[in-house]
Amino acid sequence: MAADPTHARERAFYAAVADELDPASLPPHPPDPYEAAVLDALGDVSGLEVLDAGCGAGDLTLELLRRGARVTALDLSADLLAVARARVERFAGPEPAVRFVDAPLEDTGLPARAFDRAAGKWVLHHTEVARSAPELRRLLRSGGRAAFFENQATNPVLAFGRRRLLRLPGMQRVGTPDERPLTTADYALLRSVFAEVEVSFPNLYFAQALSRSLGHRGLRAAERVDAAVWRRAPRLRRHSWHVLVQLS
C-alpha cells in the first residue's frame, strides 16, 4: 500500500512533539476534564479489553491500566509510542496488561471483535472518518462501546475563524496542518456505521477557542464566559468547539 502523505505529515509533527518530552518527568496525573468525560462514558473497565486509540504520550493508557483494563495503546507516531511505553514501564507497576501498536486508526491491523471498549482524546478528527469509523466498528465486540473527546466544526462562527482569522497577523494555529474538526457529514458517516451515536457537550469551548488562537490572551475571562453560558443557556452548548462522541 502506498504511503499516506497525511499520515507522514502527522508522524513528522508528533516526532517533534515527542522530542520535547522526558518520560521520567511525566508521572501519571489525575484525568483532566476531557479525559474524565471519556472515562465516565466508558464506565467500569476492570478486566475489559480497551483500545486507547491515538494514545499519544500515554495519559489515558496509564489511567485505564490503573482502573484495571487490559489496554492496547495505538498510535501512528512511533516516537510518541516510545514515550508512552517508557512512562508505562516506569510508572504502571510490574507486568502491566498493555501492548503498543504503531498504526493509524484507519488501518490498525488488529483482529476483528477484539475490544469491549475504545477510547480517545482528540483522535477522530485527525483521521479520515470514512475509513476510521468502519475500522472501529470492526474492532468492537457485540455490545462494545467507544467514547471520544473531539473538536467539531458545526459552529459557523468558529468554523469561519478557523478558515479566515488564522491568516491574520498575531493569530496562532494550534494543532497539525491536516487535522479537521468533525462536521455534520462526519456525524452522518458515524451514524451509517454504528447503531447508536450520541453527541454531548461536557463543557462550552467557544470564547476559549478564540482566546487560544490569540495566544491565550484573555483566557481566564474566556473560561468564565464559557462556564456561565454553559450553565445558564443549555441550548447553546451544541455550539461548543468541544464534543463528546459516544458510539455503540
pLDDT value for 216 = 75
Mean predicted lDDT score pLDDT of the chain: 92
Q: Which residues contact 225 (CB under 8 A, 6 or more apart)?
A: 206, 207
Residues 115-159: tens digit of each pLDDT: 999 999 999 999 999 999 999 999 999 999 999 999 998 887 766
pLDDT value for 210 = 77
DSSP helix/strand/coil, 116 = strand
* Domain boundary assignment for the chain: 5-154+180-205+239-247
Is residue 42 very low, low, confident or very high in pLDDT (cuts 50, 70, 90)?
very high
pLDDT value for 168 = 52
Asked if pLDDT for residue 237 goes beyond 70, the answer is yes
Q: Which of 41-50, 84-93, 160-169 has the lowest mean pLDDT?
A: 160-169
* pTM for this entry: 0.92
Of 236 and 212, the structure prediction assigns the larger pLDDT to 236
Residues 179-215: tens digit of each pLDDT: 999 999 999 999 999 999 999 999 999 888 878 777 7
pLDDT value for 165 = 54
CA–CA dist 39, 42 (Å, integer): 5
HSE value, Cβ hemisphere, 13 Å, CA-based, for 21: 21
- Return the percentage of the chain with pLDDT > 90, whole number: 80
Of 153 and 34, the structure prediction assigns the larger pLDDT to 34
CA–CA dist 130, 107 (Å, integer): 12
Asked if pLDDT for residue 173 goes beyond 90, the answer is no
pLDDT value for 160 = 64
Q: What is the mean pLDDT of residues 11-26?
A: 96
pLDDT value for 163 = 58
Report the CATH fold assignment for 5-154+180-205+239-247: Rossmann fold (3.40.50)
pLDDT value for 97 = 98
Asked if pLDDT for residue 162 goes beyond 60, the answer is no
Q: What is the DSSP pairing of strand 98-102 with strand 70-75? A: parallel
Residue 113 CB: number of other CB atoms within 10 A?
A: 13
CA–CA dist 114, 11 (Å, integer): 26
Q: Which of 2-16, 26-40, 159-173, 218-232 has the lowest mean pLDDT?
A: 159-173
Is residue 233 very low, low, confident or very high in pLDDT (cuts 50, 70, 90)?
very high
- H or E element in which residue 76 lies: none
CA–CA dist 239, 46 (Å, integer): 34
- Residues 105 and 82: beta-carbon distance below 8 Å: no
Asked if pLDDT for residue 175 goes beyond 80, the answer is no
pLDDT value for 164 = 57
